[in-house]
């Protein structure tokens, strides 16, 4: 096995593929928020007029995108992106309709934030500080579980992820019931 398998020029070993509603709008969003570059020659439109394949360059990475077909399930992407300025990135995302999930928070010397785009995808946004020298993997290796090295910041990061994951819903639905609403509806059905 090689350290890095052969891949076409411009591709990495791992290249995310995002399936979403309104992919053309999502492409514009990602260009505005992350400074991604569209690869127009990759754009392919299916017979139904939906985007079958599109590509964006983000730094040294390739992101493929496609429109979700009407009978396909909701499959949100969960993607991590390194940026030069977390605050500016979040401001651009929020101005374009994203919901901030996790405010910028120290994460072992780096800064971590999260937002959810209007298609329901969750984006982990990191600003790396190469001088920080902290190693979360080394700390985790010496621990029985993550709570042994937890901090208020880590509790916040974890809590916002749990809540964001619980609230994921198909953006095609008109109304999304919160976990509390769903629990109340389940209790009502039990009483009937």
Q: Is 35 left (phi over 0), alpha (psi -120 to 50) or beta?
A: left
Nearest to 96, CA basis, from 125, 122, 116, 67: 116
Tell me which residue has tokens 């621990």.
Answer: 143
What's the token pair of residue 143? 């621990």
The predicted structure's pLDDT at residue 188? 38
Sheet containing 122-127: give its strands across.
78-82, 122-127, 110-116, 99-107
pLDDT band at 71 (very low <50, low <70, confident <90, very high): very high
C-alpha radius of gyration, the chain, whole number? 19
Nearest to 20, CA basis, from 57, 80, 74, 99: 74
- Cβ partners under 8 Å of residue 47, min gap 6: none
- Please state, in angstroms and rounded to a whole number, the distance separating the CA atoms of residues 171 and 177: 12
Q: What is the DSSP letter of 97?
A: T
Sign of CA pseudo-dihedral 129, 77, 136, 93: positive
Share of the chain above pLDDT 90, in %: 64
**Residue 43 · residue 53 · CB < 8 Å:** yes
Domains and CATH numbers, the chain: 17-179 (3.10.180.10)
What's the token pair of residue 144? 């029985």
- Average pLDDT score over residue span 138-153: 70
- CA of 185: how far to CAs of 8, 24, 165, 179, 188, in Å? 51, 36, 20, 10, 5
**Residue 36 · residue 29 · CB < 8 Å:** no
Strand partners, 156: none
The predicted structure's pLDDT at residue 141? 63
pLDDT band at 150 (very low <50, low <70, confident <90, very high): confident
102 CB-contact burial (10 Å; exposed 0-12 / middle 13-18 / buried 19+): buried
As a whole number, the mean pLDDT across the chain is: 85
Q: 79-94: per-residue pLDDT in tens? A: 999 999 999 999 999 9
């Amino acid at each position: 096995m090689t350290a890095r398998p052969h891949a076409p020029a411009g591709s990495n070993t791992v290249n995310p593929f995002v399936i979403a509603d309104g992919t053309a709008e999502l492409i514009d969003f990602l260009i505005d928020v992350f400074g991604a570059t569209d690869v127009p020659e990759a754009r392919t439109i299916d017979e139904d007029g939906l985007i079958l394949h599109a590509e964006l360059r983000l730094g040294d990475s390739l992101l493929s995108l496609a429109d979700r077909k009407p009978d396909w399930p909701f499959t949100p992407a969960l993607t991590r992106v390194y940026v030069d300025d977390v605050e500016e990135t979040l401001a651009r995302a929020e101005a374009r309709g994203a919901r901030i999930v996790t405010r910028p928070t120290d994460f072992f010397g780096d800064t971590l934030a999260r937002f959810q785009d209007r298609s329901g995808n969750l984006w982990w946004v990191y600003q790396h500080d190469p001088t920080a020298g902290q190693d979360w993997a080394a700390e985790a290796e010496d621990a029985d579980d993550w709570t042994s090295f937890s901090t208020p910041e880590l509790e916040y990061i974890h809590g916002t992820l749990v809540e964001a994951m619980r609230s994921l819903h198909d953006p095609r639905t008109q109304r999304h019931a919160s976990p509390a609403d769903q629990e109340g509806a389940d209790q009502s059905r039990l009483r009937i």
